Amino acid sequence: KFDTTNVEDMDYMFHKCQLPENFTLGDKFDTSNVTNMDSMFFNCKLPENFTLGDKFDTSNATDMSHIFGNCKMSENFTLGDKFDTSNVTDISGMFQSCKLPENFTLGYKFDTSKVSHMENMFKNCQLPKDFILGNNFNTSKVIYMNGMFKHCKLPENFSLGNKFDTTNVEDMDYMFHKC
């Protein structure tokens, strides 16, 4: 049985992987103890109807840098109900070079209040129509925002929101370069 209950590090787990149709993480793919998800699905092709599953709990994760970088997502892909970023400090390159599916949202548990690294988060990313960062997209602790939206296609009426605070940011170079 593929039981991940005790796993703390899943960096590069599915790196450059082309998951087959009908692939599932299974009912034992528990990520509640994982702290490092760096590049977990980097450069990966997710099949149609792929879900992160009921046990994809990210509440203890601190590093989600490049988790979906250069990932090819199916049109119905979502982050699910347990995609909690409240303890994450690094989300650099999280959606770098992704085309996010229509109706994609970050969800209500996408909390960036502890994040210090956001560089290249949406670099080369195509955001869907009506995409919003959400009410929990707090940037008050962010130090690095360089290249955050570099070469990104922003949707019409896009807004940074009312919690986009750059008071502590030290590096913003290329933040909106060729955006």
Q: Using one digit for the tens of pLDDT, what is the confidence trace for 67-124?
A: 999 999 999 999 988 899 999 999 999 999 999 999 999 988 999 999 999 999 999 9
Distance, in Å, from the CA atom of 61 to the CA atom of 166, rounded to the nearest integer, reads 24
Distance, in Å, from the CA atom of 66 to the CA atom of 166, rounded to the nearest integer, reads 22
- Report the share of the chain in percent with pLDDT over 70: 99
DSSP string, 42-99: TT-BPPTT----TT---TT--B-TTTTTT-B--TT----TT---TT--B-TTTTTT-B
Sign of CA dihedral 99, 101, 102, 103: negative
Would you state the pLDDT for residue 137? 92
Pull the structure tokens for residue 134. Answer: 């959400």
pTM, two decimal places: 0.94
Can you name the residues that pair with 9 across neighbouring β-strands? 36
Q: In the predicted model, is pLDDT for residue 142 greater than 80?
A: yes
